[in-house]
Amino acid sequence: MIRALPGWALRTLDLPTEAGKTARDMDALHATLISVTFAGTLVVALMTFYYIVRYRRKREFETTRSLVASGKREFIQAGLLLSMFLAFWAWGYAQYLHIETPPDHAMVVYVSAKQWMWKFSYDDGQTSNDTLYVPEHQKVRLVMTSRDVIHSFFAPSFRVKQDVIPGRWVNIWLDAAEPGVYPLYCAEFCGAGHSTMLGQIHVLTAEEWAKWRRGANPEEMIARGREAAMKNGCLACHTLDGQRHIGPSWSRLYGSTVKLQGGATVVADEAYLTESMMDPLAKLVDGYNPVMPSYRGHLSAEDVGAIVELIRSLKDGGGQEPTIALPKLVVEKTGQTTETKP
């Protein structure tokens, strides 16, 4: 099986460089599919030519012979072609699942698109515009949203493209093996500056990456999330230590299976958490009242990312971390008499 395309083939086919294994695998399928299609077309063309010569009309008033096709042979031919198509489907479907499923333990970068730039927020609190920095040999999950219109994150060297939609968070992941600089495009017409919405993906060596990370504080994003949650009143209803309140606690929420009203369940991932901030009534948690307002337009993309990061940091429970004491006032408002001890 072809593992990857050599440089001359990439140039001939006008394909971008391959940044990692995902791109190489996809090119292997692409090349095989095209080669088989070309070979099939060639066989059909040659046979057509042969038949034209072999069975041409030789005399006037010559009639066409009546032929009855062998059912068995037709069955075998159709079966062979079908199994070939199914093999391509299975190969492509496996790749599709691979691309659509971000690996566990991938590094997370939050991406916010707006007219006409890309903004990247890293888990250590750093940000960058239009240039995404990732370390080599590291799988990177991008959690993306748009501030205004639909954009499309297109990194041809990684063979990935994903629409970025306002009010929703979507996932994509990059498989970066080789250090280098790869182009990033917006592939959805998003207004007058669409063609200028260009970026770069810098895959850094371990050494360069350490330099880029230096000085960054890994707790910064979580701290920002806590600050945003306090400022926006989230903590008036959600606790960080697992106590039940007006809304579900954020402790041990991330990655858990949430039971919804109506009996359905959902896994609390970035997409669900974000949807719950933007459209709280879309998926109501069983046993809670529909009292949460929408935060669409009130929270910046970075704050949403930071709050999700805070919730993620609590996935194994709040630990020894001092809980923000539940204000008594809020407890009284619900009419409950339970005392809460800070």
Contact status: 202 vs ligand CUA (CB under 6 A): no
CA distance 306 to 227: 9
CB of 309 to ligand CUA, least distance (A): 25
**Radius of gyration (Cα) for the chain, nearest Å?**
28
Contact status: 188 vs ligand CUA (CB under 6 A): yes
Contact status: 151 vs ligand CUA (CB under 6 A): yes
Q: Decide whether 113 or 240 has the Cβ nearer to ligand CUA.
A: 113
Site for ligand CUA in 35-94 (CB under 6 A): none
Choosing from 21, 168, 194, 252, the residue that interacts with ligand CUA (CB under 6 A) is 194
Q: Decide whether 191 or 233 has the Cβ nearer to ligand CUA.
A: 191
CB of 107 to ligand CUA, least distance (A): 24
CB of 121 to ligand CUA, least distance (A): 18
Contact status: 161 vs ligand CUA (CB under 6 A): no
Q: Decide whether 166 or 180 has the Cβ nearer to ligand CUA.
A: 166
Q: Decide whether 194 or 213 has the Cβ nearer to ligand CUA.
A: 194
Contact status: 190 vs ligand CUA (CB under 6 A): yes
Contact status: 197 vs ligand CUA (CB under 6 A): yes
Q: Decide whether 176 or 190 has the Cβ nearer to ligand CUA.
A: 190
CA distance 145 to 170: 7
CB of 143 to ligand CUA, least distance (A): 18
Site for ligand CUA in 104-143 (CB under 6 A): 116
Burial class (CB in 10 A: 0-12, 13-18, 19+), 237: middle
Q: Decide whether 180 or 183 has the Cβ nearer to ligand CUA.
A: 183
Q: Decide whether 130 or 241 has the Cβ nearer to ligand CUA.
A: 130
Q: Which window, 39-47, 70-78, 84-92, 188-196, contacts ligand CUA (CB under 6 A)?
A: 188-196
CA distance 97 to 55: 49
Q: Which window, 60-68, 184-192, 222-230, 279-287, contacts ligand CUA (CB under 6 A)?
A: 184-192
Question: How do strand 257-259 and strand 151-155 relate by DSSP bridges?
Answer: unpaired
Contacting positions for ligand CUA (CB under 6 A): 116, 151, 186, 188-190, 194, 197
